[in-house]
Amino acid sequence: MKKQATYTKSSMVAHFMRGCTRFFIFSIVMSFINTLLEMLIPQVIRQFVDSVIGSAPFNVPPFVLNMIEGIGGAPYLRSHMHLVAILIGVMALLVALAFYGTNQTNSIAAEKLHQNIREELFAHIQKLPFAWHMKNKTGDIIQRCTSDAERVRIFIAEQMVSVVRIIIMMTLSLYFMFSMDWRLSLVAACSIPIIIGYSAFFHNRIGGSFEKCDQNEGILSTIAQENLTGVRVVRAFGREEFERKRFEKQNVYYTGLWVSLMNLMAVFWGIGDFISGLQIMLILVLGSVFCVRGTLSAGEFIAFLTYNSMLIWPVRQLGRVISEMSKAGVSIDRIMYIINSPLEEDKEDAVSREETDKALRGDIVFDHVSFGYEPDIPVVQDISFTIPHGTTFGILGSTGSGKSTLMHLLNRLYELPPEQGKITIGGVDIAEMKAQDLRRDIGMVLQEPFLFSRTISENIGITDRNMSLEEIRRAAKIACVDDTITEFKEGYDTVVGERGVTLSGGQKQRTAIARMLTQKAPVMVFDDSLSAVDAETDAKIRHALSQSLGDSTVILISHRITTLMQASCIMVLDKGRIVEMGSPEELLALNGVYKKIYDMQQGLEEAEEAV
């Protein structure tokens, strides 16, 4: 079996970039061409001013000089000035084309990268153990997959490319500037670290404020989301006004945060503009002096000023990018937490699918099983029982006594540590089976059934997309939900949930039972799955089920004694321990907990009948 890779920051970024590296490289090359051409235009203007309008000799590389001489030199250009204008126009067009190429390829690369990140995260999360999902908050996982993924995309696609562009721009500008006048260049160069430092310092300072704004936006949307999903509770308890005020308070606080952040930003831009203005002024004054003294030509001065103003913006950007990079570092760490979380893995020498299928047609044995979700807080202790194949086994117990926990262990949603007992089916330890094979053979109707916001037939036939409607209906009939579904206007094509009809608790439970029945598993678990249906429907479903279960092993968990009566053996749990176990008749004769609950429920039923 392939071992799960553990990523470092850089190897994870490289992994995400697969398939889009060539686009990034192309975009960087285009960006280089674009910057180079942009940088050459002031040189053309400089030569034009000094050597075409003025009379200084051309100061260009020999091959360019040869070309100029070839067409007739400065005198020819002086009488055909439009040629220079055309040259600048062509260069500007090339700059635009290269700019287009940069953006085009960069956006392909960026979107492909984003797609890779989303795909990778989703696929990984799907394979993470159930315990991991229980431990991590859904909101936080979503935040990591959206905001953090977006920040990493911006970092790799936009910031890294702009850093390359800024560095090329700075190098070329400084090269051209130094080639014209080293004293003036020194002044310009000295201001660069000051501007970068100031910008980075400021962005670091406001980074915290941005994070606070992000967090508070999260709180605000959580309040809104809770109110939307919990609208029934809000209405039922008349909490509209309270919730409105709570939202308003957070909204005011959030707005205040942005206002003070914007104030800070205004100060930043103001001071930044002032520093850049000072630098430009210094160059202007010094340049003018040099010009008057004749150590700098007019063309050089114009080119110099152009380079200087071209330099200022990227330099200021660089400061921002540097501070943004630290934020991206945090996001990469947050994504790495998911990507490096260990996947649910089967043993290397796990038994084959056929062997599992065969074993699942054997007895289920819990052998001295103890388990707790948190270390040192046991939930079930020393549980031992055997369910012979093909029989119905009932579990009764107060809430929180560990019934669902035992089922979580049975289909390995939680792994049982080896020293805490053993669960075998057909003589094979379930830890030796592949989790997927095991779960395919254990049909579970969970205590809180979840239906997807899809059609009813899609929900019931979830295990097989090609399941026929007859098969789906057969299962629905056994679960006593077919009549209800056919009454809907769109029948089995009715969409459930947010986009469609809202099913009642009992309808949902019965749909979930139908879904499980289509699985045709040799072991079926009903975890309190009939709690939301009335006693009569409960009896009807049980009757229909007993006719169709065949030789499946059935585990019934219920608080209702009547539901459990058909079981050949019932286990009574209390605070994670077995207190009684036996056939319904044996348990009645024991005169213990079971008998007490039995008497209580019988009494209630008689009282109901009397009414």
Ligand X SMILES: Nc1ncnc2c1ncn2[C@@H]1O[C@H](COP(=O)(O)OP(=O)(O)OP(=O)(O)O)[C@@H](O)[C@H]1O
Question: CB 404 → ligand X: shortest distance, Å?
Answer: 3
Task: Write the CA distances from 592 to 393, 399, 404, 572, integer angstroms.
Answer: 19, 18, 23, 10
Task: Write the CA distances from 368 to 434, 525, 576, 577, 581, integer angstroms.
Answer: 22, 21, 12, 11, 15
Q: Which of 399, 466, 502, 547 binds ligand X (CB under 6 A)?
A: 399
DSSP notation for 309-345: HHHHHHHHHHHHHHHHHHHHHHHHHHHHHHHTSPPP-
Nearest 5°: the CA angle 36, 181, 55 is 85
How many alpha carbons lie under 13 Å from residue 340 in its C-beta half-sphere?
12
Q: How far apart are CA 73 and CA 79, in angstroms?
A: 11
Rule CB under 6 A: is residue 403 a binding residue for ligand X?
A: yes
Tell which phi-psi region holds residue 540, choosing left (phi > 0), alpha (psi between -120 and 50) or beta: alpha
Q: What is the DSSP secondary structure assignment for residue 56, as one 8-state letter? A: P
Q: How far apart are CA 242 and CA 86, in angstroms?
A: 70
Rule CB under 5 A: is residue 404 a binding residue for Mg ion?
A: yes
Q: Of 76-84, 315-323, 420-428, 446-454, which part binds Mg ion (CB under 5 A)? A: 446-454
SS3 424: strand
Q: How far apart are CA 124 and CA 147, in angstroms?
A: 18
Q: Which does 42 bind (CB under 5 to 8 A by kind): Mg ion, ligand X, none?
A: none
Size of the site for Mg ion (CB under 5 A): 2
By rule CB under 6 A, what string of x and - marks binding of each residue 366-385 to ligand X? -------x-----x------
What string of H, E and C letters represents the secondary structure of 192-244?
HHHHHHHHHHHHHHHHHHHHHHHHHHHHHHHHHHHHHHCHHHHHHCCCHHHHH
Question: CB 394 → ligand X: shortest distance, Å?
Answer: 13
Q: Tokens 């008998």 correspond to what residue?
A: 595
Rule CB under 6 A: is residue 447 a binding residue for ligand X?
A: yes
Rule CB under 6 A: is residue 448 a binding residue for ligand X?
A: no
CB 454 within 8 A of CB 494: no
Q: Which does 405 bind (CB under 5 to 8 A by kind): ligand X, Mg ion, none?
A: ligand X
Q: Which does 503 bind (CB under 5 to 8 A by kind): Mg ion, ligand X, none?
A: none
Question: CB 266 → ligand X: shortest distance, Å?
Answer: 49
Nearer to Mg ion, 301 or 393 (CB): 393
Q: Which does 402 bind (CB under 5 to 8 A by kind): Mg ion, ligand X, none?
A: ligand X
Question: CB 374 → ligand X: shortest distance, Å?
Answer: 6
Nearer to ligand X, 156 or 573 (CB): 573
The two three-digit tokens of residue 341, written as one number:
């979380």
Can you give the C-alpha Rg of the chain in angstroms? 37
With 0-12 CB in 10 A as exposed, 13-18 as middle and 19+ as buried, what is 279?
buried
Q: Of 37-45, 398-406, 416-424, 584-592, which part binds ligand X (CB under 6 A)? A: 398-406
Nearer to ligand X, 193 or 400 (CB): 400
Q: How many CB atoms lie within 10 A of CB 470?
A: 7
Q: How far apart are CA 169 and CA 165, in angstroms?
A: 6
Question: CB 223 → Mg ion: shortest distance, Å?
Answer: 30
Q: Which of 397, 421, 449, 522 binds ligand X (CB under 6 A)?
A: 397
Q: Of 13-21, 77-85, 403-411, 509-517, which part binds ligand X (CB under 6 A)? A: 403-411
Rule CB under 6 A: is residue 129 a binding residue for ligand X?
A: no
Site for Mg ion in 111-150 (CB under 5 A): none
Q: How far apart are CA 340 and CA 128, in angstroms?
A: 10
Nearer to ligand X, 106 or 401 (CB): 401
Rule CB under 6 A: is residue 463 a binding residue for ligand X?
A: no
* Nearest to 190, CA basis, from 317, 292, 315: 315
Nearer to Mg ion, 115 or 447 (CB): 447
Size of the site for ligand X (CB under 6 A): 13
Nearer to ligand X, 402 or 584 (CB): 402
Name the helix (H) or strand (E) containing 97. helix 82-126
CB 601 within 8 A of CB 561: yes
CB 250 within 8 A of CB 219: yes
Residue nearest to Mg ion (CB): 404
Rule CB under 6 A: is residue 402 a binding residue for ligand X?
A: yes
Q: Of 189-197, 330-338, 402-410, 467-475, which part binds ligand X (CB under 6 A)? A: 402-410
Rule CB under 6 A: is residue 405 a binding residue for ligand X?
A: yes
Q: Of 122-130, 325-333, 397-405, 453-461, which part binds Mg ion (CB under 5 A)? A: 397-405
Q: Of 30-38, 173-181, 333-341, 399-407, which part binds ligand X (CB under 6 A)? A: 399-407
Rule CB under 6 A: is residue 136 a binding residue for ligand X?
A: no
Rule CB under 6 A: is residue 404 a binding residue for ligand X?
A: yes
Rule CB under 6 A: is residue 277 a binding residue for ligand X?
A: no
Q: Of 65-73, 259-267, 400-408, 498-506, which part binds ligand X (CB under 6 A)? A: 400-408
Site for ligand X in 469-508 (CB under 6 A): none
Nearer to Mg ion, 441 or 528 (CB): 528
* Nearest to 410, CA basis, from 373, 437, 439, 378: 439
Q: Which does 134 bind (CB under 5 to 8 A by kind): Mg ion, ligand X, none?
A: ligand X
Residues within the interface to ligand X (CB under 6 A): 134, 373, 379, 397, 399-405, 447, 528
Residues within the interface to Mg ion (CB under 5 A): 404, 447
